[in-house]
A = this chain, B = another copy of it.
Amino acid sequence: MTAPPRMQVVRSRQALRRCVRAWRRAGLRVAFVPTMGSLHEGHLSLLRRARRLGDRVVLSIFVNPTQFSPREDFGAYPRNLPRDLRLARGVPVDLCFTPPVEAMYAQDSRTEVRVTCLDRVLEGSTRPAHFAGVALVVLKLLHLVEPDLLILGQKDAQQALILERMVRDLDVPVKVVRGPTVRERDGLAMSSRNAFLSPEDRAAAAALWRSLRHARDLVRSGERRSSRVLAAVRADLAQEPRIRLDYAAAVDARTLEPLTRLEGRVLFPLAAYLGRTRLIDNLEIHVPGGRR
């Protein structure tokens, strides 16, 4: 047995830059996974993907205040740094960046980054400033880490799309890779917020993925009317009284525009409350069939 490689844990931006720049000067390929910590198997799958694609893996753990609205759960968001570091060492990760909030945002910060249109639908319709906060922090992290690869999760498909678009529109020199959603045995998408669920809500939450599988089955059996598929999803979820649906939609996976006829890269995103906990999930499916 060789000794496990040592993971650096850095809080300062200067130390981060020094370390990553030395790697880059040595010609090493850096893969980066930004997270808010409270790591679960979904994050770990992204980190393992980063491990395979990069010579060095950087993880950031930063619960970003600018993507929470005042009435959201910034204060209550689960945090467990010692556990996160242990899990990251197991991947293994080479560098974990854990900046304090005051090091990331100057009091008189004035710069805003928005990916318009895409940021005001679906999750953005109930969380109007959310994606501006996400875009800002990820752009800052990309400037600090300067990675070759940015690994994002399909679980947050709208977030991944918005960040891919930001990277393209701003010519950020990074390649974006999406990793698939990792699910519990009953299909519930892994999420740090699952920890908030009561046992009863946790059991009920499996209906979210069941409804999306139902959508997939309908499309596979030839259904092309989004109204029919969404009606089936809503009917499934209505049978679970603990679930309060926020939205279920069928949209073009590249534009997030609602689809009447299911064709091309189709995304079925949904959001629902179980008690006070809001969960999201989605299914992306390629539906063959040319344009008329």
Contacts and interface: CB of A to CB of B under 8 A. Distances in A.
A168 B106 contact: yes
A117 B112 CA distance: 11
A200 B162 CA distance: 52
A146 B143 CA distance: 11
Contact of A173 (B114, B116, B146): B146
Copies held by the complex: 2
B111 A173 contact: no
A72 interface: no
Given A13-B171, A143-B171, A165 B114 contact: no
Contact of A110 (B25, B27, B118, B172): B118
Contacts of A115: 110-112
A238 interface: no
Contacts of A140: 169-171
A166 B106 CA distance: 12
Contact of A113 (B25, B112, B117, B118): B112
Contacts of A25: 25, 27
Interface in A144-174: 144, 146, 165-166, 168-173
A65 to B, nearest CB: 15
Interface in A90-110: 106, 109-110
Contacts of A27: 25
A197 interface: no
A10 interface: no
A86 interface: no
Of the listed residues A110, A118, A168, the one surrounded by the most CB atoms of chain B closer than 10 A to its CB is A110
Contact of A111 (B13, B110, B146, B170): B170
A139 B170 contact: yes
A17 interface: yes
B173 A110 contact: no
Given A25-B27, A111-B113, A111-B170, 16 more contacts: A13-B171, A106-B168, A106-B169, A110-B115, A110-B118, A110-B165, A110-B169, A111-B114, A111-B135, A112-B112, A112-B113, A112-B116, A113-B170, A139-B170, A140-B171, A143-B173
Interface of A: 13, 17, 25, 27, 106, 109-118, 135-136, 139-140, 143-144, 146, 165-166, 168-173
28 contacts: A13-B171, A17-B173, A25-B25, A25-B27, A106-B169, A110-B115, A110-B116, A110-B117, A110-B118, A110-B165, A110-B169, A111-B115, A111-B135, A111-B165, A111-B166, A111-B170, A112-B113, A112-B114, A112-B115, A113-B170, A139-B170, A140-B170, A140-B171, A143-B170, A143-B171, A143-B172, A143-B173, A146-B173
